[in-house]
Amino acid sequence: MLNKIGFIRKLKLEEIIGANYLTERSNMNYSELYVGLQRLVFRVDYGISYAGDKKYLQGFRIYYGIR
C-alpha cells in the first residue's frame, strides 16, 4: 500500500500486519493484533491485545537487529 505514495516508496518501507491467538486453561482466548513498518533491520509495531472480550494491553514495540 505504501508503494502508491511517491516519496514513501523511495524509503523502501515494508508493511507488516499480523495476529496471534492463544488459549489455555488459565488464560482463555488471548489474542493480539498488530501493524507496523520495517526497513532492513529496523522495525516499529503498534499492537493491541485482548483477554476474552476486554482490551488487555496496547503499545508500541521498537525492534532493531538481525533475526
> What is residue 67's predicted lDDT score, i.e. its pLDDT?
62
Distance of CA 5 to the CA centre of its chain: 21
Residues with Cβ within 8 Å of 46's Cβ and at least 6 positions away in sequence, in order, are 34, 35, 36, 58, 59, 60, 61
pLDDT tens figures, 11-47: 888 889 999 999 888 777 899 999 999 988 899 999 9
Residue 2: is its pLDDT beyond 70?
A: no
Number of domains in the chain: 1
> What is residue 28's predicted lDDT score, i.e. its pLDDT?
78
Question: Which residue segment(s) compose the domain that 26 sits in?
Answer: 2-64
Q: pLDDT higher for 63 or 11?
A: 63
Q: What is the pTM of this model?
A: 0.74
Residue closest to 28 by CA, chosen among 54, 48, 61, 59: 54
Q: pLDDT-derived band of residue 54, with 50, 70 and 90 as boundaries?
A: confident
